Chain A
Amino acid sequence: MSIRVINEKCVGCKLCVKTCPFGAIEIVSKKAVIDMHKCTLCGACIESCKFDAIVLAKISPTDIKFPTKFDQYKDVWVFCEQKKGVVQSVSYELLGKGRELADTLGVDLCGVLLGENIKEEAHKVIHRGANKVYIVDSSALRNYQDEPYTKVFIQLIKEYKPEIVICGATSIGRSLMARIAIGVHAGLTADCTGLDIDKKERLLLQTRPAFGGNIMATIICPNHRPQMSTVRHKVMKEAPENKHHKGKIIEKSYGAEIYSSRTQLLDVVEEIEETVNLTEANVIVSGGRGMQSPENFKLIEDLAKSLGGAVGASRAAVDSGWKTYSHQVGQTGKTVCPKIYIACGISGQIQHLVGMQSSEIIVAINKDPHAPIFTVATYGIVGDLFEVLPELTRRFKETLKR
């Protein structure tokens, strides 16, 4: 891929100069000039140019010859992440999407389940639409550990040759897939929010946000198999459960070497606060500097509880020590996309917005009517949160009978 300016079309308006996140464009004699040492081919300038004067010589899927050696690669695999023997909801979301992809390609949808005593869970995976479930049962796989999981997964890929592997972009998924992709020399696209198929070329079209969601990129992996992606939680719709759906369970076991690990897991510590798991939550209530003190977070917690939601915090609130880092939403914290995000006393710095702006509904409560958070809010309340929050909690409790 390469980028260039069509001088005949460029009017030297400087829009691209302002847009370039990398400072790679200059106007020289009234024409835009791209410094290729700085350019990362992000394409932001192309969107900004009103004169179509910047072009990216793209690789179009039709330019790519599909090598025949890939014929032996088929099926769509979903890594079914389990914790304490229970398959995580993100995996059910991926089975939903995976079913679509497999149907488009006319292949099987397969689950991959690693753990100890997990056969029961394999049936659940089948009820969510899988045609096959590969299970590897070993005490060494009871909890996630990078090395045994990586080795087992690579072995399965080599043996059964999937054409697509998708996995939740969780802390486990991101560590595991990154290692596997190197091991099998495959392309891996992180944190996708959209997956589709180019049916003719059997290519997985992987769409993901970059630059905190200001740019979306569609990525393909033409010359390597499997095509691998990690997928953001809460973006895809969970596969419906059908207890009559039939599938095959394929049990595999391997020699001791494959289960060995140089790292040792000494302990798994769960932080008991029930309101912590932000990435799983349908509703998140977040507090920022406007909460004024750690004690006032009680108001946030009460509202979150009345909604069965989780508690988030802005960087300002975390840096002030009002909430622990595991609650932080934003660029240096977590990226979340719940159904409802309620931002209380958060001004809405871009670093916060990039972590939550893909939420379905955003409610902002802030006393400053000019706070940037209102530019992304579905519903805005300009007011005193110490008055609004207790009232809101009371009303939700009443309405939802919690």
Chain B
Amino acid sequence: MNIIVCIKQVPDTTNVRIDPETNTLVRAGVQSIVNPFDMYAIEEGIRLKEKFGGSVTVLTMGPPQAEEALREAISLGADEAVLVSDRAFAGSDTWATSYTLSKTIQKIGKFDIILCGKQAIDGDTAQVGPGIAAFLDLPQITFVKKIEDVKGPLVRAERMTEEGYDIVESPLPCVITVVKEINEPRLPSLKGKMRAKKIEIRKLEAKDLDADPDSLGLKGSPTKVVKIFTPPPRKGGQILEGEAKDICGKLVELLKGEIC
């Protein structure tokens, strides 16, 4: 089974806090990480490979330093890595990103499953997974919390909904986006780390894709950002003090009008 995992490098927010006065992110030194949801996609890809054989190729679109994210995926057990990077991609919205990734996937070759994290934690759109599926005209199962089975040309998975989950079956090849519940990602092995250092990453640019130049980057993005602002900071309010009994009484008085 050949699996392609699409990942994104995002700024690490683990040690970030918000400056209450300026309401901006405070961070000492900027580190990048693999988007947390993509870690689950990588793990699921490796598990499928371990169960059914085949290979896992990780793919990212981003600046040259996104190579680090690919090397991390290799250290975890992915076999090959592809970086698609070009100034022409700058300013891509989800439409142009999905287009570029789908064109790259066509270059990579045969695959059975494309795995993506459900969304990236910087943009939070959840649109690129379905976007890739639409461009490649593939079936999709989004927000997957469990891949139940792969039998012959069919994959059966549990798709998380607001009320519970759907059990959905799809023919291969297809696109699957995953949520956190699907697995617990492993740590890199020593052997994996060694491999990650040495591996040659396949690098593609805009000219390597059979892509329409007008559909790339800012130019190819239907959405345009016209204004950016910081929301008014949320201020801490009132601390209720006193005995538990009195505090609770006070709080109930404050809230009862709001509850209907």
Contacts and interface: CB of A to CB of B under 8 A. Distances in A.
Interface of A: 1, 18-23, 36-38, 40-44, 46-48, 56, 58-61, 83, 143, 146-147, 150, 170-172, 174-175, 177-179, 181-183, 185-191, 205, 209-224, 261-271, 276-277, 279-280, 282-283, 307-308, 324-326, 328, 331-333, 335, 339-340, 350-351, 353, 357, 360-361, 363, 369, 372, 374-384, 387-388, 391-392, 395-396, 399-400
17 contacts: A21-B122, A22-B30, A47-B229, A58-B226, A175-B142, A209-B231, A218-B227, A261-B139, A262-B171, A266-B156, A270-B163, A350-B17, A379-B251, A381-B240, A388-B248, A391-B248, A395-B248
B139 A262 contact: yes
B13 A56 contact: no
B222 A221 contact: yes
A1 B218 contact: yes
Contact of A48 (B22, B37, B63, B234): B22
Contact of B139 (A263, A360, A375): A263
A209 B229 CA distance: 10
A264 B171 CA distance: 9
Contacts of B225: 1, 41, 43, 58, 217-219
Interface stretch (B48-56, B69-77, B86-94): B86-94
Given A1-B91, A178-B129, A392-B248, 10 more contacts: A20-B30, A47-B229, A48-B24, A58-B226, A146-B142, A179-B133, A277-B163, A325-B180, A332-B36, A381-B247
Contact of B222 (A21, A224, A277): A224
A168 B137 CA distance: 24
Given A182-B134, A190-B127, A263-B141, A47 B226 contact: no
B208 interface: no
Given A182-B134, A266-B167, A22 B11 contact: yes
A340 B255 contact: yes
Contacts of B245: 391
A191 B222 contact: no
Contact of B230 (A214, A326, A369, A391): A214
Interface in B1-45: 11, 13-14, 16-18, 20, 22-27, 29-32, 36-37
A180 to B, nearest CB: 8
Contacts of A265: 166-168
Nearest to B11: A21
Contacts, number: 311
Contacts of A186: 222
Residue in A214, A307, A333 whose Cβ sees the most chain B Cβ within 10 Å: A214
Interchain residue pairs A-B with the least CB separation, the first 7: A23-B30, A187-B222, A43-B228, A182-B134, A178-B130, A190-B125, A187-B223
A211 B231 contact: no
Interface of B: 11, 13-14, 16-18, 20, 22-27, 29-32, 36-37, 63-65, 87, 90-91, 93-95, 98, 121-131, 133-135, 139-143, 145, 156, 158-171, 174, 179-181, 218, 221-231, 234, 236-241, 244-245, 247-249, 251-252, 254-256, 258-259
A339 B227 contact: no
Contact of B227 (A58, A150, A374, A395): A58
Contacts of A325: 145, 179-181
A178 B134 contact: yes
Contacts of B128: 178
B229 A216 contact: yes
A379 B222 contact: no
Given A266-B156, A326-B160, A395-B249, A46 B228 contact: yes
Nearest to A374: B236
A249 B231 CA distance: 41
Contact of B238 (A283, A326, A378): A378
Contact of B258 (A339, A374, A375): A339
B259 A19 contact: no
Nearest to B12: A21
A179 B222 CA distance: 15
A379 B240 contact: yes
A188 B238 contact: no
Contacts of B124: 190-191, 209-210, 212, 335
Nearest to B124: A191
Contacts of B224: 1, 59, 219-222
Contacts of B251: 363, 379, 381, 392
Given A174-B127, A216-B230, A383 B236 contact: no
Contacts of A217: 225, 227-228
A340 B244 contact: no
A147 B175 CA distance: 13
Contacts of A380: 236-240
Contacts of B259: 282-283, 307-308, 339-340, 400
Contacts of A372: 17
A264 B163 contact: no
Contacts of A43: 225, 228
A265 to B, nearest CB: 6
A181 B127 contact: yes
B15 to A, nearest CB: 9
Contact of A211 (B122, B129, B130, B223): B122
A392 B244 CA distance: 9
B134 A183 contact: yes
Nearest to B13: A350
A187 B95 contact: yes
Contacts of A223: 222
Contacts of B238: 378-380
A264 B169 contact: yes
Residue in B37, B238, B252 whose Cβ sees the most chain A Cβ within 10 Å: B252
Given A21-B27, A147-B139, A388-B248, A350 B127 contact: no
Residue in A47, A360, A374 whose Cβ sees the most chain B Cβ within 10 Å: A47
Contact of A146 (B36, B126, B140, B227): B140
